[in-house]
Amino acid sequence: QSALTQPASVSGSPGQSITISCTGTSSDVGGYNYVFWYQQHPGKAPKLMIYDVNNRPSGVSNRFSGSKSANTASLTISGLQAEDEADYYCSSYTSSNSHVFGGGTKLTVL
């Protein structure tokens, strides 16, 4: 199972919005509404930010939103804040009953 494709880095200024893409195939992202997004700060464990494409767990800011079109999912962060600077990983359930992660995107808040 190949890793999902994410941009290596994105950046934005405080208050702006950014979008991170995550491209897979019809066997993972495109085949199921089982796309997830995780935030990871340096030296910390990942934190679930979005599940099932566009759902936020309790406690996650509504500045975070997810969407999907065909084989590409997206994470949008609006009203960018300094604390959002982190690595972001998408993940998908797959047709082989496994999980696959994206390569990760480093978000820099300028």
Partner 1 sequence: QVQLVQSGSELKKPGASVRVSCKASGFTLTSYAMNWVRQAPGQGLEWMGWINTNTGNPTYAQGFTGRFVFSLDTSVSTAYLQISSLEAEDTAVYFCTRAAYGSHWFDYWGQGTLVTVSS
CA distance 52 to 40: 19
The values of phi and psi at residue 84, to 5°, are -80, -10
Q: Which is nearer to partner 1, 10 or 48 (CB)?
A: 48
Find where tokens 């047709």 sit. 95
Which residue's CB is nearer to partner 1, number 13 or number 58?
Answer: 58
List contacts with partner 1 (CB under 8 A): 1, 3, 34, 36, 38, 40, 45-48, 51-52, 57, 89, 91, 93, 97-104
CA distance 18 to 31: 25
Q: Which is nearer to partner 1, 45 or 82 (CB)?
A: 45
